[in-house]
Structure 1
C-alpha cells in the first residue's frame, strides 16, 4: 500500500500489504523491474543483519509509478532510471504497470490478487485534472477529499480503508502524527494476495522441528512435510562465495501462474554467504533451469511482517530529488514547494499447509534417512524466497526467513504435538 502526501513539507507514506496463495492473460508484458527488486533487497538486508525481510517489489513500483505521474524534470528521471524504465519511451511504463496489474488480477485466475489505489486530497486545494484523469486511467484510483488538519480522523479513515482492502492483515498503518496542516495529498496503494498450493501439505504430517539460526542457536518450529512433484535444481556460482552448491525449489500455486521460489544454502553455510550472488539475471536463470521432478520437502510454517521506512532506502538507490525542496511534482498541482516527506511500506506474508496468505501429529521427523530416493529440500535453516508470476516475471514478494514462528514448550501448538 502506498500513501503519498503532498504539502509544503509534502508527506508521502508508502505502505504495502502482502499475502500469499496465483494470473492469466494473453499477451502479458514482461516486468522490467527485477534489477530494482534485487537492489532494494540488498539495501534492506544491509539494515538488518539477522532479521526476517518481507516486501513487495511490484507494489513499490506501482506506488512510485503513481508518484511519477505527477513528477517532472529530475524528479521524473530519477524514478524512471531506478525502476528500469529509462529504456522505454516516456509514458509507456504506465501502460506496462496497468497491464501487469490487470493480468495478475484477472477473473480467470485460481488465486486472489486485489490491487486497490486511492487518493486522499486536501479539501479546497486544486489538483491538475489531467493528473487525476491519468491516475484513474492507469491505476483505477479512487479520489476522496479530507481535511488533513483533522489528523486523527484522517488517520482513522485511511487505516480503515487499508484494513478493508487487506482482509484486516494491515492495521494501524498511520497515526495522527503522520499528517499536519501542510499535508496536501495522501496516495495509497494496497495489494492483497491469497493462493493455495497446487500440492498442499497434509496437516497431519506437520511436526515440531529444530530450526538452526545463522548465529548457531536453535529454535523449535512447526515443520511441514510432503513428497511431491515440484520444480527443482541445484546450482553453484563456480566459487566458494556462495558456499558451493545450493538448492532452488519452485512450488506452484493453483493454476501454476504464481509460485514461491525457495533458495536454500547447505546446512552449514550461512545465508549471508549466499546473498551476495543474488542478482536479477540469476533470478531468471533459476526460473529457466529448475526441472519438474519428485522432491521431498520440509518447509517451516512461517509468518513474516515488516514495516519499512523506505525514504532512506530509495535515496540510496538513487531516488533522491522527490524527497528534497528541489522536487518537481508540478504535474500534480500548481502548488510550490511540494516534496515527499516520508515513505513507508508494510508487508505481511503467512505460509501454511494450504498455501500462503496474508491469512499435527506427534513426534519429530528424523533429520537423516537410511535411503534417499529423491532430492530432499530441508529448510531447517535460513533461506531466501520470492513469490512471482511465472509468465511475466513480476515479483509480488521478496524476502528471507532468518527465524520462523517459534514454538515454545508451553505453547498450545507444542503441547498438541
Structure 2
C-alpha cells in the first residue's frame, strides 16, 4: 500500500472539457497530511458553494482509529498517515500551535479526541495502559440517552470554541461514537483595512458587490502558469495561503486538476517566484461552511476500507465485534479585517527577508474572482483548506461572526441549494438601478436567522419571476415551511396588493421575509434617479409595512 505522498502523478493539464475526478490523490511537499489536504479540497468542493474542511482534524481521527485497531485494519490506516515517526511528528505539529511571544488578540487554539463507548461494550483490560499516538478521552455512556448527548454536546462546544454545539445523535445499534475537534482564533500580524464594496466575478460570469478589505504589506509571491499564490501572516506564526487560478480557468477545474493544492503546498514549503514584494491586496471577507461531509468513500478511495467491514479489528479497544458505520466532518472558516477563526470536528460512528535598493512600485492584487484558500500552522502543517466561490458579507466588527452572531447568511445544505436556484432563476435579471437582481434576495437572506427563513428569502420571487414551481422546489429538498411561505409570498395575478399583503400576516416566515423585502424595496437611495412613480411605490410599500407590523 503506498502513502498519499506517492500516489499522485505530477501530470496536470488545464483545458479538459470535463475534469477527471476519479481516484485523484495529491502528492505533497508537506508530507502525508499535505496529501490528505489536497484530496479533501477536491472532495469538499463538490458539496456546494464556499466549502471548507480540516485535514488536520481528520488526520487526528485516523490516528485515533489507528490507536484502537490492529492487524490489517491498522496497517491500512498507517499506510496513509505515514510511519510511526512521521505520525508522531505530524500530530505534535498539529497540537503545537500556541500564542507567540509577541502575543495575539483573542488568540485561542485547541484540539481534542474522545471516544464515547456504550456501556454494553466490553473494554480491553490493557487499553488504558497501552501507548497511544494521540491523547484520547474515553467515556462510558448509555448512547442514545439525553445525559450522554448533553455530555457530548458540551465536549464538542468546549473543543470548537462554541461554534459547534450539537454532537451527532445516536441510533439503535450504535456502540461507539468517536469525536475529534479543533478550534483556531487568531489575529492578523498586520490588520487589513476596511474598504468599500467591490465587484466579485463568480465562475458563471455573474458580477456581485461584496465587502472588501485592503492589506498593504510586503508579500512573497508564487506565480505559475498564470496562477498567483500568496499568504497573509497571523500573529501566532500560522499563515493563510490564497491561490487564484489563471484568468481562463475556473476554480472548479483549478482544484480538480490538482494545481490549486500543488501551488499552495509548494508555497507553504518555501517555493516563491518573488520575495518581499510590496503589494496592495484587495481581499473579500468570507465565511466558509461545510456540514456533515461524508468521508466514507474518500477513505475507501485511498485504501482505508477494512474499518467499514464486518471483520474489522478493533481488539486493542474491545474484543466485541465493531465496524465503522458512518464518518463525516463539519467545518467553519471565516475572516474579517482583524483576523481568522476556524473550527472543525470529525465524527465516526461504530456499530456491532529585506527590500532591494530600488524597490518597484507597489503591486496591486485584487482578489475579485473565486479562489482557493488554506491555513497552515507555524510548522507548515495544513489546518484548514477551502474554496471561496461567493464571499459572504460579515457585519460584525469586534469579532468574526459565525452562525451564532447574525450578519452573515446561514449556510446549510438547503440554503446552499436555495442560493444556487436563486442564481439560476434570476440570471440576466436586473433591478431598476441596473444591478443584478439576485443581490436583492441575497440581501434579505443575510437578515434571516433560520434555515427555512433563509430559503424563503432567497426564493421569495422565483415562482413569480421564473419557470420554477413550488413542486420543483420541493423536489430539490427545500423545507416544507419555507415552501408554504414562498407560496404565500408569490403575488398571484388579479389579487389586490394590500389583500395579498394581508394574507401574509399569519405566517411567521412569510411575514418576516416580506418586511425585509419591503424595507429594501422602499429604499430610494438604491436608485440613480428617483421619479414620482418611485416615490408613490415607496409610499405603498410603507403602508404595507404598517399593515404587517400592526
Q: Could you tell me the TM-score, scaled by structure 2's length? A: 0.59
Equivalent pair of 1:128/1:332 in contact (CA under 8 Å)? yes
Counterparts of residues 226-265 of structure 1 (less than 5 Å): 226-236=215-225, 245-255=226-236, 257-265=237-245
- Residue 115 (structure 2) aligns with: 119
**Alpha-carbon deviation of 1:268?**
4.7
Counterparts of residues 352-371 of structure 1 (less than 5 Å): 352-358=336-342
Q: Could you tell me the TM-score, scaled by structure 1's length? A: 0.76
Task: Output one character per residue of 1:17-63: Cα deviation in whole Å (capped at 9) or x when no partner.
Answer: xxxxxxxxxxxxx7542112212222333x34x53221111110011
Query: Structure 2: 5+ residue runs without aligned partners?
Result: 1-29, 344-359, 394-407, 409-438, 448-519, 527-550
Higher strand share: 1
The structure whose RCO (Cα within 8 Å, separation 6+) is larger is 1
Query: Structure 1: 5+ residue runs without aligned partners?
Result: 1-29, 237-244, 360-371
Higher helix share: 2
Q: Helix, strand or coil for the counterpart of 1:398?
A: strand
Equivalent pair of 2:186/2:340 in contact (CA under 8 Å)? yes
Distance 1:356 1:33, change over 3 A: same
**Alpha-carbon deviation of 1:325?**
1.1
Question: May I ask how many residue pairs the two structures share in their alignment?
Answer: 351
For the pair 1:273 / 2:260, whether they are aligned, the reply is: no
- Residue 6 (structure 2) aligns with: none
Paired with 2:326 and 2:294, the residues of 1 have a C-alpha distance of 8
Task: Output one character per residue of 1:334-368: Cα deviation in whole Å (capped at 9) or x when no partner.
Answer: 112x1000001011111110010149xxxxxxxxx
For the pair 1:51 / 2:31, whether they are aligned, the reply is: no
Counterparts of residues 16-415 of structure 1 (less than 5 Å): 32-45=32-45, 47-48=46-47, 51-83=49-81, 85=82, 88=83, 91-105=84-98, 110=104, 111-134=107-130, 138-150=133-145, 152-175=146-169, 178-180=170-172, 182-202=173-193, 205-236=194-225, 245-255=226-236, 257-275=237-255, 276-278=257-259, 282-287=263-268, 288-290=270-272, 291-307=275-291, 308-336=293-321, 338-358=322-342, 373-391=361-379, 393-405=380-392, 408=439
Paired with 2:64 and 2:301, the residues of 1 have a C-alpha distance of 20
Paired with 2:361 and 2:99, the residues of 1 have a C-alpha distance of 40
Distance 1:353 1:134, change over 3 A: farther
Paired with 1:95 and 1:301, the residues of 2 have a C-alpha distance of 35
**Alpha-carbon deviation of 1:390?**
4.1
**Alpha-carbon deviation of 1:128?**
2.2
Distance 1:93 1:325, change over 3 A: farther
Equivalent pair of 2:264/2:374 in contact (CA under 8 Å)? no
Equivalent pair of 1:388/1:394 in contact (CA under 8 Å)? yes
Equivalent pair of 2:200/2:369 in contact (CA under 8 Å)? yes
Distance 1:65 1:216, change over 3 A: same
Greater Rg over alpha carbons, structure: 2
Equivalent pair of 1:302/1:404 in contact (CA under 8 Å)? yes
Paired with 1:332 and 1:106, the residues of 2 have a C-alpha distance of 35
